[in-house]
Structures are given as C-alpha cells and as structure tokens.
Amino acid sequence: MTVTQFTVDLGVLPVALDLGGTFVFALSGAAAAVKHRLDVFGALVLSLVAASSGGIIRDVLIGAIPPAALADWRYLAISLLAGVVVLAAHATVDRLRNPVQLFDAAGLALFAVAGTHKALVYHLPALPAALLGTLTGIGGGVVRDLLVAEVPTVLRAEIYAVAALAGATVVVVGSWLGVPSPIATTTGALLCFGLRFMALRRGWRLPVAGASDPWGGGSPPG
C-alpha cells in the first residue's frame, strides 16, 4: 500500500518542525550538561549533539545529502542559542520539574513528526517512514545520554520510542487518508508529547525484561 504524498513544499513545514525540534533538543542537551556540571564548551557541544544527531541520521538514510543540520546555518545558530539560554538562565530552568525530560519530550514529538513527514516527501512507504520518524525522534536523546554516561531513555522501561512511533503513525495515516499535513503533523506531535508527558507524570512503563514484577510494581499501566 502506498501513501499519498504530502504536497507541502519541503522548505516550509518540515524545516519549521526541524528547527523547533532542534531548539528544544538543544535545550535538553544544555540542561543535561548543567545537571552533570560540564563546562561551557561541553554544554554547547552537548546541545549541538542532542539537537542534530537524529536529523543527521534521518537525512543520511533518505539520501538528503548533505544533512540539513550541516548545510543550513540556522541549525547551528539555534542549537548554540538554546545552549546559551540555558547556561544564562540555568537557575530558572532548574525550577522546572526535571527540565531535561520536559525538553526531551517536546523534542521527541517535533522530531518524530518532522522525520516522518520528510520521509514521506522523499517517497518512502508508510512503515519505513514511520520507523524513520521514530529514529529521528530518539536519536538525539540516545547520543546525549551516552555522552553523559547514562543509560539511554529509550532502553529503559519508560514509554519513549512507543510515543514517538505513535506520533509518526498519525502522520502516516493522515497522509494516507488525505488529511492536510499541518493537521496530521500537529495531531501526531500532540499525541507523542501527551503520551510521553503522561508517562512521566503517571509512571507509565513497559514491562521490564526478566523482572519478577515486569511492570515495576503495582498493576500494569492502564
């Protein structure tokens, strides 16, 4: 089954989503750097890596060479700006409830739908497009966590990649049904962010492999 291709210019919606995801993932990278007491250079590097890794992987896989994060100065500028904002206002950021996870949830949502949208524009079928959108969403967070010596969130029991896949699936289904792409991508992003946010608030988890209580205590999430 083929998916109806989006007709929106590649230079409008996907770039807007990409830049938005770049900014919030860069915020998450800088917030993680503050949490781990890295120096200024380390914080800016972590911002860049968190913001660009998922998009670079996506672009390489679909043949969009050179990747947008390397070819367009706006990605670098936005990443550095986000890093500077967090470093300058880290006291305010610290007052947010777990800022890394909050920014990460927003970046996950934006990158998941942006990656799926761009994959569809590059004529990928439905399933690969959704998987590539998921990979775009989780890529920056994985690299960020590895650089600060943490187990990547996607490998824990938390609902993370599942949220990204849900948002990506909405974009694919919306394209197949002929739903205008701004509506499909907005709905997908809201679903992804909502699932991730509620998982953080309510403690929703996936079963833990090999655990006597695979749901981590109590009853399985509803």
Q: What is the mean pLDDT of the chain?
A: 83
Residue 152 has pLDDT above 70, yes or no: yes
Q: Return d(Cα 215, Cα 157) in angstroms, integer.
A: 9
d(C-alpha 46, C-alpha 24), whole Å: 13
* pLDDT at site 88: 86
126 phi/psi in degrees, rounded to 5: -60, -55
So what's the pLDDT on residue 218?
A: 44
- Work out whether the CA dihedral 5, 111, 185, 1 comes out positive or negative: positive
Beta bridge partners of 55: none
Range 141-169 average pLDDT? 87
CA 113 – CA 36 distance, rounded (Å): 30
- Give the residue with greater pLDDT, 208 vs 212: 208
pLDDT: is 91 or 103 the higher one? 103
Contact residues for 100 (Cβ-Cβ < 8 A; gap 6+): 28, 31, 32, 35
Report the distance separating Cα 116 and Cα 121, nearest Å.
9
Give the Cα separation of 101 and 3 in Å (integer). Answer: 33
Contacts 24+ apart (CB under 8 A), 34-41: 34/86, 34/87, 34/90, 34/93, 34/94, 35/100, 35/148, 36/148, 38/148, 40/87
pTM higher than 0.75: yes
Partner residues linked to 216 by β-bridges? none
CB under 8 Å to 150, separation ≥6 — which residues? none
